[in-house]
């Protein structure tokens, strides 16, 4: 039951920081360059650069160099995998709660 799922590890790890979540939200609205993504935060450029590296390693975004700027865009596939895991959990515990409720209804 080792169930090694490195992509999911990386994706959830990436979600665990507010700046990275902010960047993903921003990218949901469409492509952007590093400077655009950095603007809202009061951290240094290298800090942003590393957040981007973490997101990229997790497969949550991809980059293409266009002139001197890097344009980032969301990769929703990986995002959806994470969502799927949470949905599954939700289904699991709901299923259990439903059974419980049914049992209580039948055994008053």
Partner DNA sequence: ATTATGGTTAACCATTAGGTTAAATGTAGA
Partner DNA sequence: TCTACATTTAACCTAATGGTTAACCATAAT
Binding residues for a second copy, rule: CB under 8 A, are 1-5, 8-10, 12-13, 15-18, 21-22, 24-25, 28-30, 40-42, 74, 76, 79-80, 82-83, 85-87, 89-90, 92-93, 96
* Tokens of residue 95, six digits: 């299923």
Among 16-24, 80-88, 89-97, 100-108, the segment contacting DNA (CB under 7 A): 16-24
Q: Which is nearer to a second copy, 12 or 70 (CB)?
A: 12
Residue with token string 């993903």: 24
Q: How many residues does the chain have?
A: 108
Nearest to 45 by CA among 24, 70, 10, 74: 70
The residue (of 70 and 76) whose beta carbon lies closer to DNA is 70
Taking a C-beta distance cutoff of 8 angstroms, is the pair 45, 33 a contact? no
DSSP state of 107: -
| Nearest distance, CB of residue 55 and a second copy, angstroms | 13
């Amino acid at each position: 039951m080792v169930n090694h799922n490195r992509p999911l590890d990386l994706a959830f790890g990436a979600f665990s920081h507010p700046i990275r979540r902010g960047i993903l939200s921003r990218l949901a609205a469409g492509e952007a360059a590093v400077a655009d993504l950095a603007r809202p935060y009061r951290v240094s450029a290298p800090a942003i650069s590393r957040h981007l590296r973490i997101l990229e390693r997790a497969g949550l975004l991809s980059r293409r160099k266009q002139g001197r700027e890097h344009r980032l865009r969301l990769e929703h596939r990986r995002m959806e995998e994470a969502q799927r895991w949470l949905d599954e959990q939700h289904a699991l515990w709901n299923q259990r709660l439903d059974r419980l409720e049914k049992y209580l209804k039948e055994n008053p």
